[in-house]
Amino acid sequence: AQSVTQLGSHVSVSEGALVLLRCNYSSSVPPYLFWYVQYPNQGLQLLLKYTSAATLVKGINGFEAEFKKSETSFHLTKPSAHMSDAAEYFCAISGGSNYKLTFGKGTLLTVNP
């Protein structure tokens, strides 16, 4: 079975500060990992995905994530937070013959002026 754990249900940062959202995974097969963002009353939008081509993945809106197999992690970062980044962020996993996207519980990001 595959799973992801997002550490911290709520992260608060100041505008301009580093954003770090944590995701650890568990998988018995090489995983595919995703970060999605959900704005209020909206569906989920893909930020970036890891598919084994490169361990450092760049996504939209200045976000990036690094796949670290030794740490079973796929943390999401952004050097400088913007007010528009305030949203809920979900880490998700699939892989092998598993077509299911299994989501973490989500991390709500608040950006303070």
Binding site for another protein (CB under 8 A): 32, 34, 36, 41-46, 49, 51-52, 90, 94-106
Closer residue to another protein in complex, CB, 13/37: 37
Closer residue to another protein in complex, CB, 14/52: 52
Q: Smallest distance from the beta carbon of 32 to another protein, in angstroms?
A: 4
Q: Smallest distance from the beta carbon of 86 to another protein, in angstroms?
A: 18
Q: Are 100 and 4 in contact (CB under 8 A)?
A: no
Neighbours of 108 (CB within 10 A): 15
Closer residue to another protein in complex, CB, 13/35: 35
Q: Smallest distance from the beta carbon of 38 to another protein, in angstroms?
A: 9
How far is it, in rounded angstroms, from Cα 16 to Cα 113?
Answer: 9
Q: Smallest distance from the beta carbon of 98 to another protein, in angstroms?
A: 6
3-state SS of 9-65 is: CEEEEECCCCEEEEEEEECCCCEEEEEEEECCCCCEEEEEEECCCCCEEECHHHCEE
- Largest Cα span, the chain: 45
Closer residue to another protein in complex, CB, 75/104: 104
